[in-house]
Structure formats: C-alpha cells, structure tokens
Amino acid sequence: MSSVDTWAGLALPLIAAGLLVVAARPGSQPSFARVTREGGTAFLNERLMQRGYAWVDRLAAGAVKIGVGADAVSWLSLGLGLGAGLLAARGWLGGAAWALALSGLGDGVDGAIARRQNTISKAGAVLDSALDRYVEFFFFGGLLYFFRGSAASQLLVMLALFGGFMVTYSTAKAEALQIAPPRGWMKRPERMVWLIGGAALAAAAPLVGLSPAPVMVSVVAIIAVFAHASAFRRLRALSAGAEARHD
C-alpha cells in the first residue's frame, strides 16, 4: 500500500466530517421527509443522515441545472463501484474508499434528480436497485481477492455480502406484502458508510503502526453479524404479520 493511498484514507473521513459540519447551518438542522421516514439506528444516526442528504440535494440541484439525468448518474455510480472493487482487490483501500464514497453519493443524487425532474418511474427504481446490488458485489468481490490468503476472512466477506442482500430482500418482501417491517440495522446506507469508513481507516492504519487487514476484517464482521440479525428479526416479523393476515 502506497503512502499516497494511506493519506487518501486519512483525508476522506476528515473531509466528510467537514462537509457534514458545513451542511448544518447555524441555528438550523436539515430536515428531509425521506430521511425521517427511513430513520436512523445505532450504526448511522438520523442527524448525520439529514446532513448527508442536504449535500445530496444540493448536488442534485446543480446536476439538474446543467442537464444531467438520473440514469447517467446511476451508470456513473456503477462504474465507480467497479473501480472501488478493483482498487480494493489491489489493496489500495484509500482509493477504494473514495471510489465507493462517490458511488454511494451518486446513488443518492440520481434519485434526488429524478424527483426534481419529475421523472420517477418503476423502471428507474428497478434499474437503481439492480445497480446498487452490483456495486456491493463489486466491492465485496474486491475484498475477497484482497483476503485471498485467509479463508476465514473470505468467509466473513461472503457472510457480510449475503447478510446485506437479505436485509434488502426483507425490505422488498415487506413492500410486496404491504407490511411495515421493524426498523432494522445495516440497511444499504449504513452498510455503505461502514464499508467506506472501514476502508478509509484500514488504509490509514499504518500511520499508527497497525496493519490494514485486521481493521477491514473487524468492519466486515460487524456488518455480517448485524445484517443477519436484522434480516432474521425482520423476516420473522413479516412471517408473523403475513400469518395474522391469513387468519
């Protein structure tokens, strides 16, 4: 891992923290109904989500002004996600964190653009959801290669990937059954923040004499455990709700 990548890992959380502070104007706190509806958890609190979405909304407004469409941003996010996976595979975790952060930002901006342009459609929602799954697959695939010398670490990566998919599946199933699921952990925004933050901290770890791999493994393990716990809790609630309706 190069020193440039190490410093890139350190710079990302510092810049992100600065942007979040700027998003909170004196005497006010951003409030978006979409974020309030989703709510926060112990892994990503709502205040931070509101501030993050304030930047998403500003970027969407700028994109609309210059004529950038939602689909173009969605495909750009996919390309950045692929880049993040390739960088992670090479062990350049700082660069991977930046690419994944920009991909995640694009994922929020494309929806905000569609709402501003009044171009929201079911086809667009399907495309956005499918590309989100590919971005996660690319990054976790990169981590699989990064941990190629450790079967245990690779197993954790697979568990985290599948756990995230199960959380997403439980949400989709809840919408199909028209049942409100319990508010769970490790939904996609949380997974993205933890993966980005984990990769950035892992990249910066050599600055304090630590190895990047254990840092990244710890973050992946947290995602794996709480994603599966969340999915199990939500699916059990959905099963009970569906049974109650049937009765």
**Tokens 């304090």 map to which residue?**
208
In terms of residue numbers, what domain contains 88?
A: 3-246
Give Cβ neighbours of residue 56 (< 8 Å, ≥ 6 apart). 105, 108, 109, 112
Residue 41 has a pLDDT of 78
Give how many domains the chain has, as a whole number: 1
Burial of 134 (0-12, 13-18, 19+ CB in 10 A): middle
Phi, psi of 41 (to 5 degrees): -140, -175
Structure tokens at 173: 């199933």
| pLDDT tens by residue, the chain, 247 residues | 678 999 999 999 999 988 888 766 655 666 777 777 777 777 888 888 888 888 898 999 999 999 999 999 999 999 999 999 999 999 999 999 999 999 999 999 998 999 898 888 888 888 888 999 999 999 999 999 999 999 999 999 999 999 999 999 988 888 888 888 777 789 998 999 999 999 999 999 999 999 999 999 999 999 999 999 999 998 888 888 877 766 5
Rg of the Cα atoms in the chain:
18
**Single-letter code of the amino acid located at 65:** K
CA distance linking residue 188 with residue 172, whole number of Å? 13
| Alpha helix positions (H), the chain | 3-23, 33-38, 46-65, 70-90, 93-117, 122-146, 151-177, 188-204, 212-246
DSSP annotation string for 40-52: -BTTB-HHHHHHH
pLDDT tens-digit series, residues 3-24? 899 999 999 999 998 888 876 6
**CATH number for 127:** 1.20.120.1760
Whether the model pTM is above 0.85:
yes
